[in-house]
Amino acid sequence: DGGITQSPKYLFRKEGQNVTLSCEQNLNHDAMYWYRQDPGQGLRLIYYSQIVNDFQKGDIAEGYSVSREKKESFPLTVTSAQKNPTAFYLCASTMGRFNQPQHFGDGTRLSIL
Amino acid sequence: KNEVEQSPQNLTAQEGEFITINCSYSVGISALHWLQQHPGGGIVSLFMLSSGKKKHGRLIATINIQEKHSSLHITASHPRDSAVYICAVSPNTGNQFYFGTGTSLTVIP
């Protein structure tokens, strides 16, 4: 079955630590996205990538970094510069651009120790 | 400012009731999406539409492009329909999706 796999499901970060969230898809989708979800707010775009080795900042990119070395993989690193990282993080993909249905992973919940 | 507004924010219904969730948006769009998020957190795309109406089982989605408004209807609601329903749009500018804050639906047996 094709889909998007996010890992881990739960992640804890210590002060000053960088952590990396994994996102892998086997849908052969070109575009991938990272969103942050906070209670009472809509999904906010962190980064997106439309092709390998290229990505763009979204609305809230500060304190985050990404890479897109392979079509299937789009890992997100939450750096120590992100002062309020506690949130639910969702990875998504689409076949092409923004007018296509999005497929989502099951999310990673990040908390601060 | 929020490009996508949903109402109501929270909704409780008895099993079997007909449910309507509304979505209004303020930008020109190429498509509108209805998503379902279950308590575990994963999100599933229910519908993508750019005109008219779509139906899948007990779910019906409609859109009025002139009025910039869409509705999601659930007929004969069931406790397993309990979830957060999210409206999202693909703007004509084509540079990202805009999401509503979601409607939390609880269906009581």
**pLDDT digits over A90-106, tens only?**
999 998 777 788 999 99
Nearest CA in chain B to A56: B95
Q: Which of B45, B54, B63, B98 to mutate to test the interface with A (most CBs of A within 10 A)?
A: B45
Average pLDDT, chain A: 92
Nearest by Cα to A4 from A95, A67, A100: A95
> How close, in Å, is residue B44 to chain A by CA atoms?
7
Q: For residues A60, B46, B27 and B53, what is the CA-based torsion angle, rounded to 10 degrees?
A: 180
Q: What is the mean pLDDT of chain B?
A: 94
Residue A1: per-residue pLDDT: 65
Distances (CA, A) of B81 to B41, B76, B77, B109: 14, 10, 7, 11
Contact A42 B102 (CB under 8 A): yes
| Contact residues, chain B, for A103 at CB < 8 Å | 45
